[in-house]
Structure formats: structure tokens, C-alpha cells
Amino acid sequence: MEVQLVKIEREERHVLENLFCYYVYDMSEYMKWNPAKDGTFGGYDVSKFDPYWNQDDHIPYFIKVNNELAGFVLIRRYPSDLTLYDVAQFFVLRKFKGQGVGTLVLAQIVKAFPGKWQIRILLENSGALSFWKSAVSNIVGEDYTLSKANDVDLVMFFIHFEAAS
């Protein structure tokens, strides 16, 4: 299985916006969001993607498995601490879950961007917490911290670690 990160070009932004509806749908389990009146989960303000093409410290990637679109990962410098890389959003299509895709993606990301990292996880999302702890452990062993903190308007789990170059 070949897992690749492919930078999302500006002209491919609409593909990210389309995929993001599935991410919002998955997150609705934890956030208790309802679909719009037309039955879609597209109620996300897509202008929030603008920094990924307007700022150097925001990097959007498609995840591809054997050259097939499998998800996306949005990386940025964390706004309140620019020394930290932050996994802003991470999404793997269900077809590819449980195959090690996410773990391989994280390894590729931290290799490309060595330094201090954080991953934020909703308290209710125990599956994501298990995944991230395992994926981070594959890179740094037990050399990471897990804490709870406020992120804008939500208390979340935070995983912090440092990846060497």
C-alpha cells in the first residue's frame, strides 16, 4: 500500500470543500450537529480555508492511497503559539480506516515538518484519542504529553510532542 501526501493546489480547493462535508458529517456524532434543511452537512464556512492558500504557515494536503483519494490533512502553525505545528483537521475516508493510513500520514507529516507538534481531540471522541496516542507513540514512544485544555470554546485533549529532523 502506497500512502502519499499531495499538496492541494488552489484549483483543487473545491475537492477539499466537497470532502469536508463528510468530515463534518463524521464530527456530527460528537458535536451533535444536524444536517441543513436540504439534508447536507455542508454548513461549514469555507472562507476558513482561505489561509491555506494565502499564508505560508498553513499547508493543505490530500491523502492518497495507491493514487486514490483517501482524505485530507490540514496543517498550520497554532495561532496562539506559532512555535507549534498543529493538525487543524484530519480526515480519512471510512474505506481506508483501520489499515494504518493515518499512522503513515502522521509519520510523513512530522518528518516533513520537524519540531514541536500538537494534536487536539474532542473529549467525546475516544476512538480518535486511541488512534492519536498510538500514532504518536509510533514516532516518539512515550515521549509525549496528554492534557486537557480550552481551545477557543471547547475543552479538548491536547497531545504535545517533538519530532526530530
- Say which residue, 22 or 94, is predicted with more confidence: 94
- Say which residue, 133 or 33, is predicted with more confidence: 133
| Rg for the chain, CA atoms, rounded | 15
Task: Give the pLDDT confidence score for residue 130 in this predicted structure.
Answer: 95
CATH topology assigned to domain 3-163: Aminopeptidase (3.40.630)
Task: Give the pLDDT confidence score for residue 143 in this predicted structure.
Answer: 96
Lookup: cell for 143:
515521549
Q: Tell me how crowded residue 41 is: count the other CB atoms within 10 A of its CB.
A: 18
Task: Give the pLDDT confidence score for residue 153 in this predicted structure.
Answer: 81
Q: Are 162 and 124 in contact, with CB atoms under 8 Å apart?
A: no
pLDDT digits over 38-84, tens only? 666 666 778 889 999 999 999 999 999 999 999 999 999 999 999 99
Task: Give the pLDDT confidence score for residue 24 in this predicted structure.
Answer: 72
Q: Which residue has the cell 500514532?
A: 135
Residues 6+ apart with CB under 8 A from 2: 65, 66, 67
Return the bridge partners of 87, or none. Answer: 75, 119
Helix (H) or strand (E) holding 85: strand 81-92
Task: Give the pLDDT confidence score for residue 31 in this predicted structure.
Answer: 60
Domain boundaries, the chain: 3-163
Q: How far apart are CA 115 and CA 84, in angstroms?
A: 8
Lookup: cell for 118:
500538537
Q: How far apart are CA 56 and CA 76, in angstroms?
A: 9
Residue/partner pairs of 137-146 with CB below 8 Å, 24 or more apart: 138/103, 138/106, 138/107, 139/106, 139/107, 139/110, 139/163
